[in-house]
Chain A
């Protein structure tokens, strides 16, 4: 029997959490060093998986399949293809960044880091599960560590923010659950791959088994689609389901925000790509125009909102919505046509999504890492107006953070560029009007990021404003690999794309509508 790599991967963070909980409470440094080490170990394991991944095949690999609850047609089925692999990788990268950003957490730090690892375990679980029951368990369980991380270690309005986060996500989960129950009643299976394979043929099942004789099955399918859509739309998030995000991201401690934006939001994107698109492609095709309008609204409005913010965290919270909006644009554009002539464009779009997901994770997490440092050094403030002219007193800091900010902007040569480029390359031919309007988002992003750079780093050193010392050598060493990674991915994206190519091809081919 082959080694159950994916189960092991999911259990590693749980074991790490257990180790942390058993540490003596007295020491302050022991928890953080232990967690950093353990998170790097997990990253190493994930890289091992990356290396052993067969990049010539687009099929599911590392599959584990056991009967679990035959009475409900629930199987214990784990597997990943390139899509899952990239999600695992970005989670494994983001968590050490988040831990580093939380380096100075004082209050009950071992519990804090334990919760972080539990969150990572839940995320690994959702990225590898292929049966709804199992997947849903992890989807829901991830809310608990996130809630407590925001609530207990967060800012002044953390209570409300955490509650809002939980309530929104729960409502979405409930609609998703109900829709999937209906799908189960209609088709008799909870398995994602099987459901994807049916394409439009789950409609007869809906008509036959759901007992609502007088309702048009097409309409019923749309209702089911709406239920599942809502669940993911809240998570990504898409406007207008995003209102929980700015409060949650800004009230949470910055390390937690790094993980939320870096990895948790990707759960939503993954959900769209793994679940919604394959199963409901016909419905998306029918509703494509409305969905694209929602996406465009997301991209453009969030960018404008970011422009209007004064709090650094809020700026990048909205920026996060904006960046993921591009992924959603490409995702919906994929379902434009089954004309073989546009296949290369579809490949490009999908590859763009995968790259964008990885790069946004790294970039956004790193930015929040920097913000955490700023916050701590300035004594807790993070308004734009509190900083100025930091380039003079903290040049290394300014330089490194500048690189991250430029990457977020999409400067060629940094990791933000290839993803966005591919996305636009792919979507322009598919949905030209939507892509054109979305370019506006790019422009506004450039504006506010440059604005941040200007307000925080350039300009004269104002009296009465925060004095931020430069990075220590330890911090420089820790930032170095991340920044280097940004350059590497920006200059040589083939490193990642090479492994993912086969997945891209087989995914696009399997989209039937």
Chain B
């Protein structure tokens, strides 16, 4: 049943491409219908499989001569991420309600992107996963290049090439693993169970991890992210920063760490004081946290602040993955969900609520417009989203960061201090952006050049949806932890558990 999330999205995209150009409102409704029904299916599956156990959705032979199956399956982790995609997709459609230029094409690419994302989360055969993973690149490119804003062509191309290079690295690792395991199957459990030599894993792991890490914003391969997210139209940024970056992190866990757990082990001799790939990536993650936060602190463009903050938050996720304990890994997954919701919300405020109306994103220019009284809903939403992003208790970000910090402290006590600094700087840059954009000192009040339209109903619904989801997880994270933790205990991660949890 869950496979229908993919099919509905693809069918929707196909129908939308065939629509005549004048049917803009029909296109929107169709897109909303597709997004909502997929989300509904995801929610139903989430409620039905509350124990988080692994279950297969579809398993048919596809290319028998190569041992490749069309195998879709899900466990607790995939279910929660699929649900995240559903929610963000609905919000994205609602926030794009005002697009007039080639509406049907926009939503066609959007649905194509969503369908491919569902596909990645639900794939169990690595070939199929790779197909869906690559499929994400082209709709991304067109969404940004056609409907984006600042330097959109450059941003789109950079994003596409970086992603493609990352997938190329992954392909090398996957093919090597497939051939090394006897070319008999591309199924995740069979490849995970195959005893690759330690030397092989030591080489394959960083290649595949970095390949996926590029999409996840691993420092220093993150440079596509701020440019790309700023260039993208709002709905695309929401989806890109919110969900697509999580694809990278999810695949880091699901593929790189599952297939090559020995690659995380200690090297025979340390290099510059670092003793393993695990430490290397943990350090890079913390650098990413601090770097993203510090750079966000000095940005003048509102959207760049959010773009760099995404890099910082992804650093939390990658650090959580490297802690290799239950607390850190659970925290990483919750942070995936939490940041997905909150990044979506923040981009929506900046891009849709503010930029689409004021046509500027310069913090200095926004200040005098007195947005807190002109667009009170936007101000309130940003305050809530910003505070949630900072890690205010009561929202999902707090639980996630708490668990990651605890996990990090157990694994890398020194780095945990760096994380603490990152959280503090995080508070500061959100604060600064909020102050400058919405609550600037009213020294000279210039009315905006044209009266600002009020926030529309679709925007309010979407914002409420995202906030409610974040609050729900913040107040009752157990509903997600209940399905994630059994998944982490599954035999698939047996190799990783030598690290101990």
A137 contacts the other chain (CB 8 A): yes
Interface size class of chain A, counting residues whose CB lies under 8 Å from the partner chain: 20 to 34
Whether the Cβ atoms of A181 and B402 lie closer than 8 Å is yes
Closest Cβ–Cβ distance, residue A249 to chain B (whole Å)? 20
Whether the Cβ atoms of A69 and B387 lie closer than 8 Å is no
B409 contacts the other chain (CB 8 A): yes
The CA of A26 and the CA of B459, in the complex, are separated in Å by 26
Q: Which residue of A lies closest to B485 (CB)?
A: A71
B180 contacts the other chain (CB 8 A): no
**Cβ < 8 Å to B, chain A residues 48-72:** 68-72
> Which residues of the partner chain A approach B477 to less than 8 Å between Cβ atoms?
69
> Which residues of the partner chain B approach A71 to less than 8 Å between Cβ atoms?
326-327, 330, 403, 478, 481, 485
B8 contacts the other chain (CB 8 A): no
Question: How does the 8 Å CB contact mask read for B105-141 relative to A, with 1 for contact and 0 for none?
Answer: 0000000000000000000000000000000000000
Q: Which residue of A lies closest to B390 (CB)?
A: A170
**Cβ < 8 Å to A, chain B residues 212-247:** none
Question: How does the 8 Å CB contact mask read for B398-436 relative to A, with 1 for contact and 0 for none?
Answer: 110011011001100100000010011001000000010
> Which residues of the partner chain B approach A428 to less than 8 Å between Cβ atoms?
none
Whether the Cβ atoms of A72 and B409 lie closer than 8 Å is no
A470 contacts the other chain (CB 8 A): no
Whether the Cβ atoms of B413 and A211 lie closer than 8 Å is yes
Whether the Cβ atoms of A181 and B424 lie closer than 8 Å is no
The CA of A133 and the CA of B403, in the complex, are separated in Å by 12
B33 contacts the other chain (CB 8 A): no
Whether the Cβ atoms of A141 and B393 lie closer than 8 Å is yes
Q: Which residue of A lies closest to B383 (CB)?
A: A144
Closest Cβ–Cβ distance, residue A143 to chain B (whole Å)? 9
A32 contacts the other chain (CB 8 A): no
The contact of B402 among A72, A140, A174, by CB within 8 Å, is: A72
Whether the Cβ atoms of A141 and B394 lie closer than 8 Å is yes
The CA of A181 and the CA of B478, in the complex, are separated in Å by 19
B392 contacts the other chain (CB 8 A): yes
Q: Which residue of B lies closest to A182 (CB)?
A: B409
Whether the Cβ atoms of B435 and A163 lie closer than 8 Å is yes
Whether the Cβ atoms of A137 and B394 lie closer than 8 Å is yes
Q: A181 and B409 in contact (CB under 8 A), knowing A68-B476, A163-B435, A174-B424?
A: yes
Closest Cβ–Cβ distance, residue B255 to chain A (whole Å)? 25
Question: How does the 8 Å CB contact mask read for A114-137 relative to B, with 1 for contact and 0 for none?
Answer: 000000000000000000010011
Closest Cβ–Cβ distance, residue A491 to chain B (whole Å)? 43
Closest Cβ–Cβ distance, residue B139 to chain A (whole Å)? 37
Q: Which residue of A lies closest to B372 (CB)?
A: A152
The CA of A76 and the CA of B481, in the complex, are separated in Å by 16
Q: Which residue of B lies closest to A137 (CB)?
A: B393
The CA of A71 and the CA of B402, in the complex, are separated in Å by 12
A184 contacts the other chain (CB 8 A): yes
> Which residues of the partner chain B approach A163 to less than 8 Å between Cβ atoms?
435
> Which residues of the partner chain B approach A72 to less than 8 Å between Cβ atoms?
327, 399, 402-403, 406
B439 contacts the other chain (CB 8 A): yes
> Which residues of the partner chain B approach A293 to less than 8 Å between Cβ atoms?
none
The CA of A211 and the CA of B481, in the complex, are separated in Å by 27
> Which residues of the partner chain B approach A170 to less than 8 Å between Cβ atoms?
427
B441 contacts the other chain (CB 8 A): yes
Closest Cβ–Cβ distance, residue B386 to chain A (whole Å)? 11
Q: A174 and B478 in contact (CB under 8 A), knowing A141-B393, A181-B406?
A: no
Whether the Cβ atoms of A159 and B405 lie closer than 8 Å is no
Interface hub of A72, A141, A182 (most chain B Cβ within 10 A): A72
A433 contacts the other chain (CB 8 A): no
Whether the Cβ atoms of B481 and A178 lie closer than 8 Å is no
Closest Cβ–Cβ distance, residue B496 to chain A (whole Å)? 18
The CA of A133 and the CA of B330, in the complex, are separated in Å by 17
A492 contacts the other chain (CB 8 A): no
- B contact patch SS: helix
Q: Which residue of A lies closest to B330 (CB)?
A: A71
The contact of A174 among B326, B387, B410, B423, by CB within 8 Å, is: B423
Whether the Cβ atoms of A68 and B393 lie closer than 8 Å is no
Whether the Cβ atoms of A151 and B393 lie closer than 8 Å is no
A5 contacts the other chain (CB 8 A): no
**Interface size of B by Cβ–Cβ distance < 8 Å?**
29
Q: A140 and B413 in contact (CB under 8 A), knowing A71-B330, A159-B439, A174-B423?
A: no
**Cβ < 8 Å to B, chain A residues 181-229:** 181-182, 184-185, 210-212
- A contact patch SS: helix
Q: Which residue of B lies closest to A71 (CB)?
A: B481
The CA of A174 and the CA of B402, in the complex, are separated in Å by 12
The CA of A211 and the CA of B413, in the complex, are separated in Å by 8
> Which residues of the partner chain A approach B392 to less than 8 Å between Cβ atoms?
140-141, 144
Q: Which residue of B lies closest to A185 (CB)?
A: B409
> Which residues of the partner chain A approach B383 to less than 8 Å between Cβ atoms?
144
Whether the Cβ atoms of B441 and A159 lie closer than 8 Å is yes
The CA of A355 and the CA of B373, in the complex, are separated in Å by 43
Whether the Cβ atoms of B424 and A185 lie closer than 8 Å is no
> Which residues of the partner chain A approach B427 to less than 8 Å between Cβ atoms?
170, 174
Q: Which residue of A lies closest to B435 (CB)?
A: A163
> Which residues of the partner chain B approach A133 to less than 8 Å between Cβ atoms?
393, 402
> Which residues of the partner chain A approach B424 to less than 8 Å between Cβ atoms?
174
Whether the Cβ atoms of B393 and A136 lie closer than 8 Å is yes
Q: A144 and B387 in contact (CB under 8 A), knowing A68-B478, A70-B478, A72-B403?
A: yes
The CA of A136 and the CA of B393, in the complex, are separated in Å by 7
Q: Which residue of B lies closest to A122 (CB)?
A: B394
Whether the Cβ atoms of B478 and A69 lie closer than 8 Å is yes
The CA of A347 and the CA of B31, in the complex, are separated in Å by 69
Q: Which residue of A lies closest to B384 (CB)?
A: A144
The CA of A126 and the CA of B330, in the complex, are separated in Å by 28
Whether the Cβ atoms of B481 and A69 lie closer than 8 Å is yes
**Cβ < 8 Å to A, chain B residues 316-336:** 326-327, 330
The CA of A211 and the CA of B387, in the complex, are separated in Å by 32
> Which residues of the partner chain A approach B405 to less than 8 Å between Cβ atoms?
181
The CA of A133 and the CA of B423, in the complex, are separated in Å by 17
> Which residues of the partner chain B approach A69 to less than 8 Å between Cβ atoms?
399, 476-478, 481
Interface hub of B330, B405, B409, B424 (most chain A Cβ within 10 A): B409
> Which residues of the partner chain B approach A181 to less than 8 Å between Cβ atoms?
402, 405-406, 409
Question: How does the 8 Å CB contact mask read for B479-501 relative to A, with 1 for contact and 0 for none?
Answer: 00100010000000000000000
**Cβ < 8 Å to B, chain A residues 238-252:** none
> Which residues of the partner chain B approach A137 to less than 8 Å between Cβ atoms?
393-394, 398
> Which residues of the partner chain A approach B478 to less than 8 Å between Cβ atoms?
68-71
The CA of A474 and the CA of B393, in the complex, are separated in Å by 42
**Cβ < 8 Å to B, chain A residues 63-108:** 68-72
Closest Cβ–Cβ distance, residue B207 to chain A (whole Å)? 32
**Cβ < 8 Å to B, chain A residues 128-176:** 133, 136-137, 139-141, 144, 151, 159, 163, 170, 174
Whether the Cβ atoms of A178 and B420 lie closer than 8 Å is yes
The CA of A140 and the CA of B393, in the complex, are separated in Å by 7
**Cβ < 8 Å to A, chain B residues 283-309:** none
Whether the Cβ atoms of A212 and B413 lie closer than 8 Å is yes
> Which residues of the partner chain B approach A178 to less than 8 Å between Cβ atoms?
420
Closest Cβ–Cβ distance, residue A153 to chain B (whole Å)? 13
Q: Which residue of B lies closest to A211 (CB)?
A: B413
> Which residues of the partner chain B approach A140 to less than 8 Å between Cβ atoms?
392-394
Q: Which residue of B lies closest to A144 (CB)?
A: B387
> Which residues of the partner chain A approach B435 to less than 8 Å between Cβ atoms?
163
The CA of A72 and the CA of B394, in the complex, are separated in Å by 15
Q: Which residue of B lies closest to A174 (CB)?
A: B424
The CA of A139 and the CA of B394, in the complex, are separated in Å by 10
Q: A185 and B410 in contact (CB under 8 A), knowing A69-B481, A71-B330?
A: yes
The CA of A136 and the CA of B424, in the complex, are separated in Å by 17
Known: A71-B478, A170-B427, A174-B427. 12 other contacts (CB 8 A): A71-B330, A72-B327, A72-B406, A133-B393, A133-B402, A140-B394, A144-B387, A144-B392, A151-B439, A178-B420, A184-B406, A185-B409
**Can you show 17 pairs from A to B with CB atoms below 8 A apart?**
A68-B476, A69-B477, A70-B478, A71-B330, A71-B478, A72-B327, A72-B399, A72-B402, A72-B406, A140-B392, A144-B392, A159-B439, A174-B424, A181-B402, A184-B406, A185-B410, A212-B413
**What 3 pairs between A and B have smallest CB-CB spacing?**
A137-B393, A137-B394, A140-B393
